[in-house]
């Protein structure tokens, strides 16, 4: 797997907060990927990175959530995020989903906030130096140039796929790596609705 990008870390941290709120207020009731992004945006309405996030890119962000929980010995908050079509987590979910869901619902998440900022800082320090962030316009221009020379490989991409590719390019990935990441996410998470 590609290491976490700044995009994965920033959006993933917002998802930790949203999922902890979901666990506490709704007793661990699952939430679809799209509704999770909507909840996170309602908690952070001025967050531009979160505002650009799309469902197809949720996989690495949920892996960030899982990593945060594992490092701190917390139940896996990511178990609450489910695909709308199946009402279950992604097929690659590790663990006993029902047991994880009960553990998340019973856990007191108030202490997690204090740990999150330090974890985000530590993970940001681990982002490879080759992941040089760029602005949206240069990422869009670079993607268009790649797209024009690789139309056959890109013919089945949706507008949401393109947005996640641009997000990942803004986080420092090259067009080919961003495309591969989105195609892998579609494979692992389906339509991610």
Across the range 14-43, mean pLDDT stands at 94
Closest CA to 136 of 176, 163, 158, 174: 163
Q: Copy the structure tokens of residue 162.
A: 């393109």
**Alpha-carbon torsion (172, 59, 72, 105), positive or negative:** positive
DSSP annotation of 56 reads: G
Question: How many structural domains compose the chain?
Answer: 2
Residues 73 and 143 in one domain: no
Query: Is 1 part of any domain?
Result: no
Closest CA to 40 of 68, 67, 62, 16: 16
If one compares 191 and 118, the residue with the highest pLDDT of the two is 118
pLDDT value at position 193?
47
Please state, in angstroms and rounded to a whole number, the distance separating the CA atoms of residues 113 and 68: 11
Residues 143 and 119 in one domain: no
Residues 121 and 140 in one domain: no
The range of the structural domain enclosing residue 183 comes to 136-189
Residues 42 and 91 in one domain: yes
pLDDT value at position 91?
78
Residues 20 and 95 in one domain: yes
Q: Sorting pLDDT into bands at 50, 70 and 90, what band is 85?
A: confident
Which residue matches tokens 């080919």? Answer: 176
Residues 107 and 150 in one domain: no
pLDDT value at position 26?
84
Residues 29 and 114 in one domain: yes
Residues 121 and 27 in one domain: yes
Strands annotated E in the chain: 31-32, 81-82
Assess whether pLDDT exceeds 60 at residue 192. no
Question: What pTM, to 2 d.p., does this model score?
Answer: 0.89
Closest CA to 23 of 79, 62, 65, 68: 79
Residues 87 and 18 in one domain: yes
pLDDT value at position 27?
84
Residues 100 and 175 in one domain: no
Q: How many CB atoms lie within 10 A of CB 44?
A: 18
């Amino acid at each position: 797997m590609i290491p976490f990008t700044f995009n994965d870390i920033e959006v993933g941290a917002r998802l930790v907060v949203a999922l902890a709120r979901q666990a506490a207020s709704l007793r661990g009731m699952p939430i679809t990927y799209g509704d999770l992004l909507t909840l996170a945006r309602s908690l952070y309405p001025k967050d531009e990175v979160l505002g650009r996030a799309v469902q197809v890119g949720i996989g690495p962000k949920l892996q960030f959530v899982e990593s945060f929980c594992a490092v701190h010995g917390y139940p896996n908050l990511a178990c609450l995020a489910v695909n709308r079509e199946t009402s279950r987590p992604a097929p690659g979910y590790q663990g006993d989903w029902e047991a994880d869901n009960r553990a998340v619902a019973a856990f007191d998440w108030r202490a997690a906030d204090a740990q999150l900022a330090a974890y985000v800082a530590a993970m940001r320090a681990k982002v490879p130096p080759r992941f040089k962030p760029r602005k949206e316009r240069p990422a869009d221009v670079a993607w268009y140039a790649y797209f024009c020379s690789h139309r056959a490989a890109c013919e089945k991409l949706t507008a949401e796929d393109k947005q996640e590719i641009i997000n990942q390019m803004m986080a420092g990935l090259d067009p080919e790596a961003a495309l591969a990441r989105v195609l892998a996410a579609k494979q692992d998470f389906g339509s991610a609705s």
